[in-house]
Amino acid sequence: MSFTLIWLIFQSDEPNHAMAYFLFAVGIVCPGLGEAYAVRRRQRDWYRRRFASFDELRMSVNASALRQIREEKGLWDAIHELKREYPLLPVGEAAKLIKGL
Q: Are residues 73 and 46 in the same domain?
A: no
Task: Kindly report, residue by residue over 31-57, the tens digit of the pLDDT.
Answer: 889 999 999 999 999 999 999 889 999
Q: What is the pLDDT of residue 6?
A: 64
Q: Are residues 37 and 69 in the same domain?
A: no
- Spell out a b/e string for 54-83, using b for 16 or more CB atoms within 10 Å of the CB, else e: eeebeeebeeeebeebbeeeeeeebbebbe
The sign of the CA dihedral 38, 87, 81, 100 is: positive
**CB 1 within 8 Å of CB 25:** no
Global model pTM greater than 0.75: no
Helices 75-85 and 63-73 sit at what angle, rounded to 10 degrees? 140
The range of the structural domain enclosing residue 21 comes to 1-50
**CB 54 within 8 Å of CB 96:** yes
Q: Are residues 16 and 46 in the same domain?
A: yes
Low-confidence spans in the chain with pLDDT less than 50: none
